[in-house]
Amino acid sequence: MSFRKRVASFLCAACMLVSILSVSRPATVYAGSLDDQLQEARDAQAELEKQIEAVQADKSKAIEEKALLDQRNEMLRTEVNLIQQQADETEARITELTEKEKEQYELFCKQVRQEEERGTVSYWSVIFKATDFTDLLARMDFVNEVMDYDRQVIADLQETRQQLSEDKAALDQQRTELSSSQKKLQQQIDEANALIREYENTEAGHQALLDEAEADEARIQELIRKQQQQNNNSGSSGGNNSGSTGGYIWPTNNTRVITSPYGNRWCPYHGWEWHNGADIDAAYGSPVLAANSGTVIQAGWNGGYGISVMISHSDGITTLYGHMSDWNVTAGQTVSQGDIIGWCGSTGNSTGAHIHYTMYKDGQTIDVMNYLPGYIAYDW
């Protein structure tokens, strides 16, 4: 998988985890049942672990490739240095031969001028001193040999210097090509280093999210443990709804977790506010129960509460059940304790499925927490 695709998968996993971790904030309501959230946390962990393994494999491959590039770069550097050394030696040799050529030519010219200026031992005098024709030929050959030798020395020096110049030009060309290859290779090394850093940053991001997911899973498991313990205690006591206070039962049978209690809290819609009830964790579509017998005074849409039901009870208390997905009663209807009055949802000002539960007495809200025995606080 390419690095871009890996980043896209990382962002998807991050979004998944953020949606899970958001439920741990006191300001928000709990979205879904604890079992659902636990499974989502585990799914996020599995995805993140998979991404971490993939990124680590890609990073290891990139490191291996960079090691090969470094090795090749070192070989090129050594080769460039060797060619530079050869070029320097050739340049020094060219300089030396040029000086010798110049000296030899000056010596030749000097000898000729001296002999001609003296007029005593000129080439002609050497020839005319021959005793016979054979001696004449010998003397002429000698003169030619001397002159040819001097010319040949100069020619050899020139030829050697020319060859060295060509060799140096070839070395310079080779050095230029190697330097160009070295620059390209260094660019590849820089790109490899940048890619490795990106993999490391991505891996660190994955690991941070994985740590959060593991911590969130641990919190959810602790809540499940407490809830199971509470359910076991309730079962051994023979209660029909995990106990009651003042004749009131819990408005749900599948949870005892409070995600946002009665009192001051941070609201995602209004900032700091007085929370006039309690947000109870419940799975979407699970039954909402009448906490006590009474008469329905409202059923249907109710502003920020979304779909809600209000029941007036004989002791002067009125209960409100908000954010339901649908209602099952009508205004004026008499209900008994435990009747299904609707189903859990997330309508109105809500960020996830839950039951908003408020109690009123004499027109004022009262602390509903006193009527929810054995509740489990979810991170608040």
Asked if 308 and 324 count as a contact pair (C-beta separation under 8 A), the reply is: yes
User: Is 213 exposed, middle or buried (CB count within 10 Å of its CB: 0-12, 13-18, 19+)?
Assistant: buried
- pLDDT for residue 322 is more than 70: yes
What is the distance between the alpha carbons of residues 239 and 249, in angstroms, rounded to a whole number?
A: 10
What is the distance between the alpha carbons of residues 339 and 333, in angstroms, rounded to a whole number?
A: 12
Write down the CATH number for the domain with range 257-377: 2.70.70.10
Comparing 204 with 232, which gets the higher pLDDT? 204
Q: Of the ranges 7-11, 131-135, 192-196, 278-282, which one carries the lowest mean pLDDT score?
A: 7-11
The full set of domain ranges for the chain reads 3-217, 257-377
Tokens 């990124």, residue located: 55
Query: What confidence tier does 292 reach under pLDDT thresholds 50, 70, 90?
Result: very high
Q: Of the ranges 16-30, 106-120, 180-194, which one carries the lowest mean pLDDT score?
A: 16-30
Handedness of CA 93, 94, 95, 97 (dihedral sign): positive
Q: For residue 118, what pLDDT is reported?
A: 53
Q: For residue 162, what pLDDT is reported?
A: 81
Q: For residue 237, what pLDDT is reported?
A: 46
Same fold, 3-217 and 257-377: no
What is the overall mean pLDDT for the chain? Answer: 77
- pLDDT for residue 27 is more than 50: no
Comparing 91 with 120, which gets the higher pLDDT? 91
What is the distance between the alpha carbons of residues 258 and 369, in angstroms, rounded to a whole number?
A: 9
pLDDT more than 90, % of the chain = 24
- pLDDT for residue 294 is more than 70: yes
Which amino acid is residue 194, in one-letter code? A
- Name, of 9-13, 188-192, 219-223, 289-293, the range with top average pLDDT: 289-293
What is the distance between the alpha carbons of residues 37 and 65, in angstroms, rounded to a whole number?
A: 42
Comparing 106 with 176, which gets the higher pLDDT? 176
Q: For residue 62, what pLDDT is reported?
A: 86
Residue-wise pLDDT for 338-370, tens only, equals: 999 999 999 998 888 999 999 998 888 999 999
- Name, of 168-177, 204-213, 351-360, the range with top average pLDDT: 351-360
- pLDDT for residue 245 is more than 70: no
Query: What confidence tier does 166 reach under pLDDT thresholds 50, 70, 90?
Result: confident
pTM passes above 0.75: no
Looking at the structure, give the CATH architecture of the domain made up of residues 3-217: Orthogonal Bundle (1.10)
- Please give the backbone phi and psi of residue 299, each rounded to the nearest 5 degrees, phi first: -150, 125
SS3 assignment for the chain: CCHHHHHHHHHHHHHHHHHHHHHHCCCCCCCCCHHHHHHHHHHHHHHHHHHHHHHHHHHHHHHHHHHHHHHHHHHHHHHHHHHHHHHHHHHHHHHHHHHHHHHHHHHHHHHHHHHHHHCCCCHHHHHHCCCCHHHHHHHHHHHHHHHHHHHHHHHHHHHHHHHHHHHHHHHHHHHHHHHHHHHHHHHHHHHHHHHHHHHHHHHHHHHHHHHHHHHHHHHHHHHHHHHHHHHHHHHHHCCCCCCCECCECCCCCCCCEEEECCEEEEECCCEEEEECCEEEECCCCCEEECCCCEEEEEEEECHHHCEEEEEECCCCEEEEEEEEEEECCCCCCEECCCCEEEEEECCCCCCCCEEEEEEEECCEEECHHHHCCCCEECCC
What is the distance between the alpha carbons of residues 368 and 54, in angstroms, rounded to a whole number?
A: 50
Asked if 363 and 320 count as a contact pair (C-beta separation under 8 A), the reply is: no
What is the distance between the alpha carbons of residues 180 and 198, in angstroms, rounded to a whole number?
A: 27
Supply 183's token pair. 């620059």
